[in-house]
Chains A and B, each alone.
Chain A
Amino acid sequence: MTSRGISRSTLLALWGVFLALPVAATMLYSVATVWRGRALPDGFTVHWWVQTLSEPRVVAALLRSTWLATLTVLIVAAVVLPALYWGYIRNPRIRTTMQVCALLPFALPFVVLAYGIKRLAGATEVTQPWEASPLLVVLGHVALAFPFFLWPVDGAMAAAGVRNLSEAAETSGASPLSTLFRVVIPNIRTGILTGAILTFATSFGEYSIARVITGSSFETLPVWQVAALQDNRGNPNGVAVMAMFTFVLMFVVSVLIARTGRGEPVRLLPGINTTQKR
């Protein structure tokens, strides 16, 4: 039994090392002075962090990604919440339709989705001016990230018994809108928070939509990262700084979700968890 226990921990530890090594390497590169031909860097410095985070192009990309992700979260919340709420209290078929729609982004790889939206916008005279605009990028992010908001919120609404809540509120004379804001939303705060964080993270790290739709005129952080990685005369340490920055951000996001969602699987896939809830 003990030998089985040992081989189990060895296997898991090996995997842990494989998962940790790239993060460690990125961290070392982001603080290394000179690192040539030796196992470890010659010295350490915070110079790259200061330099990269004060470079105007990087700061602009970072800000762009941040507002893009924030806007995506807000729009997703604004279109999903009323629809889902109505699906619970009036028309159950809305909820079924939404569940089916939430599978669509998984049948369309993101690069395909991006190209489809771009072609669609270019197809008519009216929408043509927006064919390569940031507006279309926002729309694309909304279309691909909404399932990550829908699933936790749907779970929270089911758990909170939204139907009973709103019936009680309506009997006391509240309008549907004030019921949604005063009764329902406060009861599903955890689900909304989890969904918002997931949507933000998905949108923040998304590369293909911005790249395909705008070329490189709307440079989000991932677009900058790929361009800087492929640039031979670029600064590898600065690239490592921004990768490390993203890792830390994703780590914080995951910790936040684990704390709000009580350790449930976070990256929900169209799978076991969602089907069981029905």
Chain B
Amino acid sequence: MTVTTPTAPGPAVTPPAAGPPPRPGSLRTFLTQWGPAIPFLVTAGGLLVAAALWLIRTSFAGPDGGWTLQAWQDIFTQRITRDAMVRSLGLSAIVATFCLVVGSVLAYLISGLARRGRAGAQALLNVAANFGGASLAIAMVSTLGAVGFVRLLLENWFGYQLGLDLYSVWGLVVTYIYFILPLYVLLVLPAMSVLRPEWWEAVQTAGGTRWQYWRRVGLPVLFPFLLSGWVLTFAWSLGQFSVPYALLGDTTTTSLITTRLGNFLFSATGGTNRFERAAALAVLLMVISALALVAYRRIAARMLARLEGLR
């Protein structure tokens, strides 16, 4: 609208603003159209895009400022880093799948509560979903750490030795589930209203069982909603930094992509191109998250269209 592409063949020296047809004061038009948004576009959008692009450039940068694949090659050949990738992806898949299975059931149960109970549960879930970060790591150490509350309680009252090590991948799974499960439930809760009581009645009239209802009607209808929740939960787990860093610190035997990135940044022992390797890891995380987000949006758009059809 502000810039019309000149179609008439003309000399290349003509600046686009003065191209045919002449538009006097098109800069002014641009300013009145976009002026108040410029500070926003620079600080929010521009900064994010520029930072992302610069990371991509850095990940291919050689020692002399040229282009090289060295950093990428390094992160995929170095044992610790490759292990960290596998561990990160595995951890995120476990957390997301647990949310998909358990969270979906919980969301369905909450959707069946009375109006007031549902509002109360939602408010509590909001609180839990906001309990992330450093404070949650501290709370988990107080609960499941070496002298944690639950560990002491089980030993003293039931004589049971808790086998779970908080400072391991499974400890992280429990910690992630604490705040990611509420997020998942909040995310898929609106979808539960799609299920109509009439469908269950219809299945009953046809002589069907509860199991058949879920197998043939309930789950197929809900599936895209739950899948989009899985995708987002996966990406969300993958990008966590403060919780694993607070719990595991610099331990290389249990490092994740994010904490490995932190290692490259904070310790000087990472080798000559550690900043480039950090950038390559960052770009890797960025690509996976972006793909997950695109997938999520596509599924969300499709299921919204479906929702319109159902109404």
Q: Is A91 part of the binding interface, using a Cβ–Cβ cutoff of 8 Å?
A: yes
B245: chain A residues at CB < 8 Å are 207, 226
Contact (Cβ within 8 A) B149 A25 = yes
* Residues on the B chain within 8 Å of A270, using CB: 232, 293, 296-297
B41 is an interface residue with CB less than 8 A from chain A: yes
Across the interface, which residues of B come within 8 angstroms of A21, CB to CB? 143, 149-150
Give the residue name and chain of the B residue nearest to A145 (CB): B44
CB pair B48 A24 closer than 8 Å: no
- Please state if B110 and A12 are interface contacts (CB–CB under 8 Å): yes
Known: A26-B142, A112-B282, A270-B297. A226 touches B45 (CB 8 A): no
Q: Of the candidates B134, B265, B304, which one forms a contact with A275 in the assembled complex, judged by CB atoms under 8 Å apart?
A: B304
Q: Does B50 contact A (CB under 8 A)?
A: yes
- Contact B130 A253, beta carbon cutoff 8 Å: yes
A29, closest chain B residue (CB): B142
Q: Is the CB of A116 within 8 A of B126?
A: no
Contact across chains for B289 and A222 when beta carbons are under 8 A apart: no
B128 contacts A by Cβ under 8 Å:
yes
| B52–A97 CB distance below 8 A | no
Q: Which one of A52-60, A78-86, A156-164 is at the interface?
A: A78-86
Q: A107-B289, A111-B258, A113-B48 are contacts. A265–B186 as well, Cβ < 8 Å?
A: yes
Interface-side segment among A166-174, A182-190, A238-246: A238-246
A85 to B183, CA, bound (A): 30
Number of interface residues of A (CB under 8 A): 96
Whether the pair A208, B55 counts as a contact (CB closer than 8 A) is no
CA separation between A79 and B54, bound complex, in Å? 24
Contact with A along B122-142 (1 / 0, CB 8 A): 111011111111111111111
B173 at interface by CB-CB < 8 Å: no
**A199 part of interface (Cβ distance < 8 Å):** no
Residue of A nearest to B47 (CB): A143
A116 → chain B, closest Cβ, in Å? Answer: 3
CA distance A230 to B124 in the complex (A): 30
Bound-complex Cα distance A79 to B240 (A): 28
Q: Inside 8 A of A143's CB, which chain B residues have their CB? A: 43-44, 47-48, 51
Interface centre among A86, A110, A112 (most CB of B within 10 A): A112
Please determine whether B135 and A265 come into contact, CB atoms closer than 8 angstroms.
Answer: no
User: What's the dominant secondary structure at chain B's contact region?
Assistant: helix
Chain A positions within 8 Å of B278 at CB level: 115
Q: Which of A8, A82, A120, A215 contacts B266 (CB 8 A)?
A: A215
* B147 adjacent to chain A (CB < 8 Å): yes
Q: Please state if A36 and B44 are interface contacts (CB–CB under 8 Å).
A: no
A137 shortest CB reach to chain B, Å: 13
Once bound together, how far apart are the Cα atoms of A9 and B245, in whole Å? 36
Q: Are B289's CB and A115's CB within 8 A? A: no
* Contact, CB under 8 Å: B142 / A250: no
A247 near B135 (CB under 8 angstroms)? yes
Contact bitstring A59-75, B, C-beta under 8 A = 1, else 0: 00000000000000001
**Given A107-B293, A263-B119, A270-B296, A247 and B246 contact (CB-CB distance below 8 Å):** no
Let me know if A233 is at the binding interface, CB within 8 A.
Answer: no
Q: How far is the CA of A179 from the CA of B285 in the complex (A)?
A: 44
- Residues on the B chain within 8 Å of A263, using CB: 119, 122-123
Hey, which chain A residues are within 8 Å of B290, CB to CB?
107
Given contacts A23-B139, A272-B190, contact A110 B44 (CB under 8 A): no
If A207-B242, A229-B246, A271-B232 touch, does A36 touch B147 (CB 8 Å cutoff)? yes
> Contacts A109-B285, A112-B239, A271-B300 given: A254-B126 contact, CB under 8 Å?
yes
Instruction: State the CA gap A86–B47 with chains docked (Å).
Output: 21
* Max chain A C-beta neighbours (<10 A), residue from B55, B150, B156: B55
Distance of B223 from chain A, by nearest CB (Å) = 15
A-chain residues with CB within 8 Å of residue B39 when the two chains form the complex: 78-79, 82-83
Task: List A contacts of B261 (CB < 8 A).
Answer: 111-112, 115
14 contacts between A and B (CB under 8 A): A11-B106, A23-B131, A25-B149, A79-B39, A90-B32, A101-B40, A101-B44, A112-B289, A115-B55, A120-B54, A201-B130, A207-B242, A243-B138, A254-B127
Complex A-B, nearest 8 residue pairs according to Cβ-Cβ distance, in ascending order:
A109-B239, A116-B51, A25-B149, A207-B242, A22-B139, A83-B37, A243-B138, A83-B40
* 6 further interface pairs, Cβ-Cβ under 8 Å (given A103-B293, A106-B235): A83-B36, A101-B45, A123-B54, A226-B134, A240-B142, A275-B301
Residues on B close to A: CB < 8 A?
1, 32-37, 39-41, 43-45, 47-52, 54-55, 58, 105-106, 109-110, 112, 119, 121-124, 126-143, 147-150, 152-153, 156-157, 178, 181-183, 186-187, 189-191, 228, 232, 235, 238-242, 245-246, 249, 258, 261-262, 265-266, 275, 278-279, 282, 285-286, 289-290, 293, 296-297, 300-301, 304
